[in-house]
Amino acid sequence: MFAKSLTGESVRPFRDRFEAGKLLATRLTQYSDRTDVHVFALPRGGLPVAFEIAQAIHAPLDIFLVRKLGVPGHEELAMGAIATGNVRLLQTDIVEAFGISSQIIDAATEEGFQELARRERAYRGSRPEPVVRGKTIILVDDGLATGSTMQVAVAALKEKQPKRMIVAVPVAAPEACNELKDEVDEIICLETPPSFSAVGLWYDDFSQVTDREVRELLARADRSHSSGHSASGAASGADPK
């Protein structure tokens, strides 16, 4: 399967999220070995990407919980997103186009926050909340379609007063990248295909990341950062092409 890059050239999709993370890490080398840098993943799909980045630049890794609010009957299409800290962002154009009532939105929001609380318990366990204030934050996902999930994550993290915010993704719709440019200090999108349709089309393997994999990757990242040694690539066996 092939896709078109912004230049019109045929490009091969990423093998998997681990490979995408390794490639993305080559654009973040200026943040290597810095004590003020912290990598955050949007779970679950963003974690394998962020894992490889954290390994490559020798930075601590954590998660920032955000959940998409899907349009009823078209769940892959986001009508908005929510984040830890009772932050909600709505895509008003989508809400109006589908005539979604406030009652439906509120019900989806309540259900979403319940799921965020479950994931917080499942993923974080006894791990302490990371310090964000005064830090340089690299916020990672496996791709941006509407960008609403990333936008709500950025808005929620800004309330914690980081020194600098960088968004890094392997692939994104051009509009999603453009909308985020003014919201963060830097945005890195490896591919911005003009005919973007779905993030999953840019991966040969876009299988769902499980809760268990999230916990395992976080634990491996903690051990690696504590010991100062990289564990890169072992989770998938994938090497960049």
Instruction: Give the pLDDT confidence of 134-193 residue by residue, as tens digits.
Output: 999 999 999 999 888 898 899 889 988 999 999 999 999 999 999 999 999 999 999 998
Q: What percent of the chain has pLDDT over 90?
A: 61
Note the pLDDT of residue 238. 39
Handedness of CA 108, 182, 28, 163 (dihedral sign): negative
Q: Cα(157)–Cα(79) distance, rounded to whole angstroms?
A: 21
Note the pLDDT of residue 91. 86
11 pLDDT band, cuts 50/70/90, is: low
Note the pLDDT of residue 140. 98
- Which residues sit opposite 66 in a β-bridge? 83
Q: Cα(195)–Cα(4) distance, rounded to whole angstroms?
A: 8
What separation in angstroms does the CA of 236 have from each of 40, 52, 240? Answer: 20, 11, 11
Q: For residues 127-145, b (16+ Cβ closer than 10 Å) or e, as one string? A: eeebebeebbbbbbbbbbb
Is residue 236 predicted with pLDDT exceeding 50? no
12 pLDDT band, cuts 50/70/90, is: low
Query: Chain-wide mean pLDDT for the chain?
Result: 87
Is residue 8 predicted with pLDDT exceeding 60? no
76 pLDDT band, cuts 50/70/90, is: confident
Is residue 233 predicted with pLDDT exceeding 70? no
120 pLDDT band, cuts 50/70/90, is: confident
Question: From start to end of the chain, where are the E strands?
Answer: 3-4, 10-11, 37-41, 61-63, 66-71, 74-83, 87-90, 136-140, 164-171, 186-191
Q: Cα(127)–Cα(225) distance, rounded to whole angstroms?
A: 15
For 42-70, how does the pLDDT look when each residue is reduced to its tens digit (9 = 90+)? 989 999 999 999 999 999 999 999 888 98
Pick the CATH number of 3-64+133-227 from 3.40.50.2020, 3.90.1110.10, 3.40.50.1820, 3.40.190.10: 3.40.50.2020
CB 45 within 8 A of CB 74: no
Is residue 237 predicted with pLDDT exceeding 50? no
- Residue 98, Cβ density class (10 Å: 0-12 exposed, 13-18 middle, ≥19 buried): middle
Is residue 230 predicted with pLDDT exceeding 60? no
- Which residues sit opposite 90 in a β-bridge? 80
Average pLDDT estimate for 107-117: 92
Contacts of 126 (CB under 8 A, 6+ apart): none
